[in-house]
């Protein structure tokens, strides 16, 4: 059915309710897009056709009885490869993984979307260990940007961002520990929310790591967050469940809001003129709707960013060293070169590196405190070359393009990326919206307000 692959989750549910469309037809449309696009963009680790058809038929029967499980029943979804699903390997992007080891159960986010009746199409690609924010993997190969297949997808939710732009369903699950849902959203022209730490239960929980809803529209992401935020006892760091309906009160007035504008965070790559202009144009739209806009001073230092880099080097090295030598040899050489930089660090060096994380958190929270929200570029650049594991390809400088996103993982603040324009090369530009801790609802409302006033978006790319 023509156009089904571009429908939102809200639109699909409305059609199911009116019996104008069935979940089986929606699943078939998404699978057809996968067939058309995959040879060019390589976004999928696994496509579960049989499982998707079975789930879609069950959803169709529920809708016919007038007993859907909820507003996402029958909506096609993709899950990032590292979000465990029962009976499927979780190799975290690396060829060094043992693919014979399969997950014994669904991770909390996978369990929630299954309970909601979503049709799980399969698992999307990610780079080795989820590190360095690219679409390059020793296991999956190169995942390419559908807006221009010569360009990178960012990462580590690389396949998830691509799947949305290519029409593999209106919603997706990604994970984010330094920008990994927001950066692919920016490079692929879609929406993503990095929730407050603990808002979405995960297993196992880890410092700064979240699962976030990704989508083509803010409302679809809010509906998905309603499901993802439901409690799960396996996450001992999760926030108390408050039963909030994030989609119920999305429409809001920005009049009177005090919004900070940060175009320089103090480290990393400076925004290009086109990126800065697009973010400033977004701020002017909000200002024209009644918000006040004030500049935010840079708060990051190179010492803090280097500390985060060393901490993640050591973390990845510890995982690498648990593997036999023959399996270590299969890891992407760039990742090996990067994490082996930690081999010369002493225990004191590591503690000093780790201590930069609370320093980052303190500065991020203090920088945002005077404002209701802060705007910044998601990435200072548009998508770089597809074959590179980071801009420039230098393992000594892997974090230059994530300086605007990484601090807000460690500060536990909610932050979203929404498309705010296109470069002269036609590639999407992401606007980051940062809120106070626990104000996920506020970030979604401001994102929806901007979505309603932004210029008309370009048509989605076609295979």
- The string of pLDDT tens digits covering residues 297-314 is 999 999 999 999 999 999
**Residue 13 has what pLDDT?**
98
The answer for residues whose C-beta is within 8 angstroms of residue 255's C-beta and 6 or more apart is 289, 290, 291
Nearest to 82 by CA among 141, 34, 124, 137: 124
User: Known catalytic residue: 458?
Assistant: no
Nearest to 76 by CA among 106, 103, 41, 116: 116
Q: Are 269 and 379 in contact (CB under 8 A)?
A: no
pLDDT exceeds 80 at position 52:
yes
Single out the catalytic residue among 22, 59, 137, 180: 180
Query: Could you give the CA distance from residue 296 to residue 306 in angstroms, rounded to a whole number?
Result: 22
Query: Could you give the CA distance from residue 250 to residue 304 in angstroms, rounded to a whole number?
Result: 36
**Across residues 215-240, what is the average pLDDT?**
97
pLDDT exceeds 80 at position 2:
no
Residue 189 DSSP symbol: T
Query: Could you give the CA distance from residue 153 to residue 248 in angstroms, rounded to a whole number?
Result: 32
- The string of pLDDT tens digits covering residues 125-143 is 999 999 889 999 999 999 9
User: Known catalytic residue: 376?
Assistant: no
**Across residues 24-43, what is the average pLDDT?**
98
Nearest to 441 by CA among 245, 260, 261, 289: 245
Is the previous residue joined to 240 through a cis bond, with omega within 30 degrees of 0?
Answer: no
- Strand 292-295 and strand 415-422: the pairing is unpaired
Domains 4-228 and 258-453 share a fold: yes
**Percentage, residues of the chain above pLDDT 90:** 97
CATH class of 4-228: alpha beta
Query: Could you give the CA distance from residue 208 to residue 179 in angstroms, rounded to a whole number?
Result: 10
The residue behind tokens 């004030």 is: 294
396 falls in which pLDDT band (50, 70, 90)?
A: confident
Query: Could you give the CA distance from residue 400 to residue 217 in angstroms, rounded to a whole number?
Result: 28
Number of helices (H), then strands (E), belonging to the chain: the values are 14, 13
- The string of pLDDT tens digits covering residues 75-120 is 999 999 999 999 999 999 999 999 999 999 999 999 999 999 999 9
**Residue 358 has what pLDDT?**
97
- Token reading at 218: 């803010």
- Mean pLDDT, the chain, whole residue set: 97
pLDDT exceeds 60 at position 283:
yes
pTM: 0.98
Domain boundaries, the chain: 4-228, 258-453
Single out the catalytic residue among 59, 137, 138, 156: 156
pLDDT exceeds 50 at position 416:
yes
- Token reading at 43: 């976004």
1 falls in which pLDDT band (50, 70, 90)?
A: very low
**Residue 395 has what pLDDT?**
84
Query: Could you give the CA distance from residue 176 to residue 158 in angstroms, rounded to a whole number?
Result: 11
The answer for residues whose C-beta is within 8 angstroms of residue 380's C-beta and 6 or more apart is 268, 269, 270, 271, 272, 275, 401, 403, 404
Single out the catalytic residue among 80, 134, 157, 379: 80
Q: Are 156 and 114 in contact (CB under 8 A)?
A: no
Q: 10 Å Cβ neighbour count for 91? A: 22
Q: Are 17 and 63 in contact (CB under 8 A)?
A: yes
Q: 10 Å Cβ neighbour count for 213? A: 32
Q: Could you report how far apart the first and last alpha carbons of the chain are, in Å?
A: 16
Q: Are 363 and 94 in contact (CB under 8 A)?
A: no
**Across residues 439-450, what is the average pLDDT?**
98
To 5 degrees, how large is the angle CA 52–CA 55–CA 47?
A: 15
Helix or strand (DSSP H, E) at 79: strand 76-80
Using alpha carbons, list the distances in angstroms from residue 233 to 127, 314, 438.
Answer: 29, 29, 20
**Residue 148 has what pLDDT?**
98
- The string of pLDDT tens digits covering residues 242-277 is 999 999 999 999 999 999 999 999 999 999 999 999
**Across residues 370-398, what is the average pLDDT?**
95
What is the architecture, at CATH level 2, of domain 258-453?
Alpha-Beta Complex (3.90)
Query: Could you give the CA distance from residue 342 to residue 282 in angstroms, rounded to a whole number?
Result: 40
Q: Are 183 and 416 in contact (CB under 8 A)?
A: no
- The string of pLDDT tens digits covering residues 140-155 is 999 999 999 999 999 9
CA–chain centroid gap for 190, Å, is 10
**Residue 196 has what pLDDT?**
98
pLDDT exceeds 70 at position 341:
yes
User: Known catalytic residue: 156?
Assistant: yes
């Amino acid at each position: 059915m023509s156009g089904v692959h571009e429908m939102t989750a809200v639109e699909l549910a409305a059609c199911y309710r009116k019996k104008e469309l069935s979940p089986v037809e929606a699943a078939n449309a998404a699978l057809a897009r996968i067939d058309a696009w995959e040879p060019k963009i390589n976004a999928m680790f696994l496509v579960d056709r049989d499982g998707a058809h079975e789930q879609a038929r069950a959803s169709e029967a529920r809708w016919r009885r007038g007993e859907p499980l909820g507003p996402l029943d029958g909506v096609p979804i993709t899950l990032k490869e590292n979000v465990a699903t029962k009976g499927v390997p979780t190799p975290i992007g690396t060829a060094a993984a043992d693919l014979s080891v399969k997950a014994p159960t669904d991770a909390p986010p996978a369990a929630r979307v299954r309970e909601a009746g979503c049709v799980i199409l399969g698992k999307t690609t990610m780079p080795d260990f989820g590190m360095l924010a690219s679409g390059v993997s020793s296991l999956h190969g190169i995942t390419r940007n559908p807006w221009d297949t010569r360009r990178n997808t960012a990462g580590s939710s690389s396949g998830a961002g691509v799947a949305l732009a290519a029409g593999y369903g209106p919603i997706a699950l990604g994970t984010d520990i330094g920008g990994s849902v927001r950066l692919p959203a920016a490079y692929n022209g879609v929406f993503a929310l990095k929730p407050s730490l603990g808002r979405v239960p995960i297993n196992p929980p880890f410092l700064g790591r979240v699962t976030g809803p990704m989508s083509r529209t803010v409302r679809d992401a809010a509906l998905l967050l309603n499901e993802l935020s439901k409690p799960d006892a396996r996450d001992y760091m999760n926030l108390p469940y408050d039963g909030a309906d994030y989609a119920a009160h999305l429409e809001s007035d920005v009049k009177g809001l005090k919004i900070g504008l940060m175009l320089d965070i103090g480290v990393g790559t400076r925004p290009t003129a086109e990126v800065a202009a697009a973010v400033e144009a977004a701020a002017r739209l909000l200002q024209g709707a009644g918000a006040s806009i004030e500049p935010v001073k840079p708060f990051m230092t190179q010492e803090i960013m280097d500390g985060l880099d060393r901490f993640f080097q050591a973390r990845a090295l510890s995982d690498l060293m648990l593997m036999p030598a023959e399996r270590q040899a299969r890891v992407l050489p760039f990742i090996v070169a990067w994490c082996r930089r930690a081999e010369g660090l002493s225990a004191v060096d590591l503690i000093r590196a780790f201590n930069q994380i609370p320093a980052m958190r303190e500065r991020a929270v203090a920088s945002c405190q005077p404002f209701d929200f802060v705007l910044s570029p998601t990435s200072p650049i548009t998508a770089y070359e597809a074959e590179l594991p980071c801009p420039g390809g230098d393992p000594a400088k892997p974090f230059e393009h994530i300086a605007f996103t990484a601090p807000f993982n460690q500060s536990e603040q909610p932050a979203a990326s929404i498309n705010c324009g296109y470069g002269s090369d036609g590639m999407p530009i992401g606007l980051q919206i940062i809120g106070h801790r626990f104000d996920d609802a506020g970030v979604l409302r401001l994102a929806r307000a901007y979505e309603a006033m932004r210029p008309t978006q370009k048509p989605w790319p076609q295979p």
